[in-house]
Amino acid sequence: MMHPEAITVADELLRYSSCLIFTHVYPEGDAIGSMLALALALEQKGITVQCYDKDGVPANNAFLPTAERVLTSLPAVIPPLVIFVDAHKIERCGVSREQLAGAQSIVRIDHHISEGADIGLALVDTEAAAAGELVFEVIARLCAELTPEIATCLMTALMVDSGRFTYSNTTPNTHHIAAALLAAGADTQLISKEIWGCMPIAALTLLGRAMAALQVSSNGRVAWSHLHRADYEETGAREEDTEGIIDHVRCTMGTVVAALFTERNNVVRVSLRSQGDVDVAVLARTFGGGGHVKAAGITMDMPLDDAVAQVLAAIDEALGS
């Protein structure tokens, strides 16, 4: 699938000699992979690129080419071009519009549902499995070489957000792009090893605690678990070690909606997954969150028990329970 907006976005990017790319807080493979791939492609065109993420690169993404370049503080001088990827608004990236006052152009490349009008040019497709699919298209429009480094970054984006091509968001186009990335030298063995096959003991211990706290509703349609701040402190786990736990909750037999509640940094983060007709993005937006039909998230400023009660009540209502 080719989007007419990809041409407009590519032309806009080529108008500038320097840019800043950033992505959402608590990033994962699609966010980091998409950002680094686009940075590498723009540098081929002679553009100076800075990359930023408020929370930095998670350890299991540190293998990605040029991951070390990602800043955890915004540059003192904002370049004229700003691009944000894999986020429906800049605030999702921990950035305010005031901080970007010096930018002449702001471009969004994303696959999430928007909450309002974009503040600049945008390439958005909510049917895309990953933001990396759209970055792949922009790179093609830039006429940049699809190097093994770029291919590995983009393959990471696709594999992470499609659940290694098993989620319902995986389309023929996803596989078409994956084939092109393989042909360009994407290292899928390295990706699989670093992201799914190399977990530290602290992460495995945290998973054990989440599984020990697993609960299922009386009708078996809702499964959820929770992690307290103490679980991280006592196991030595990091915030990024939570990645993937929701998929274990989702695997509970008979589950239609799965939820994982994590108490971190004085807020509760909620990960939601749907395997039925419930649109968890709609559910998440009622609490100020967002995401996709089958996968969404919420950040709630309240005690963990209150967050669990409110979200489970909303899930029951959505299920008609």
- Among 196, 230, 265, give the residue marking a domain's end: 196
Range with lowest mean pLDDT among 53-67, 182-196, 279-293, 300-314: 279-293
- Regarding whether 221 and 95 lie in a shared domain, the answer is no
- Among 141, 163, 196, give the residue marking a domain's end: 196
CATH value at residue 307: 3.10.310.30
Position 321 scores a pLDDT of: 63
pLDDT band at 292 (very low <50, low <70, confident <90, very high): confident
Residues 6+ apart with CB under 8 A from 201: none
pLDDT tens per residue across span 40-93: 999 999 999 999 999 999 999 999 999 999 999 999 999 999 999 999 899 989
Contact between 47 and 18 (Cβ < 8 Å): yes
User: Please, what is the average pLDDT of the chain?
Assistant: 94
Q: How many domains does the chain have?
A: 2
- Regarding whether 192 and 214 lie in a shared domain, the answer is no
pLDDT band at 187 (very low <50, low <70, confident <90, very high): very high
Q: Across residues 202-225, what is the average pLDDT?
A: 96
Residue 303 is given by DSSP the state -
CATH value at residue 128: 3.90.1640.10
- Regarding whether 226 and 112 lie in a shared domain, the answer is no
- Regarding whether 236 and 172 lie in a shared domain, the answer is no
SS (H, E, C) 111-178: CCCCCCCCCCEEEECCCCCCHHHHHHHHHHHCCCCCCHHHHHHHHHHHHHHCCCCCCCCCCHHHHHHH
pLDDT tens per residue across span 106-148: 999 999 887 777 788 999 999 999 999 999 999 999 999 999 9
Position 209 scores a pLDDT of: 97
What residue numbers bound the domain in which 224 lies? 201-319
Cα dihedral sign, 165-116-312-299: positive
C-alpha atoms less than 13 angstroms from C-alpha of 207 in its C-beta half-sphere? 15
The Cα–Cα gap between 210 and 260 comes to 8
- Regarding whether 189 and 213 lie in a shared domain, the answer is no
Contact between 271 and 283 (Cβ < 8 Å): no
Model confidence, pTM = 0.89
- Among 176, 196, 216, give the residue marking a domain's end: 196
Terminal CA-CA length for the chain: 39
- Regarding whether 114 and 230 lie in a shared domain, the answer is no
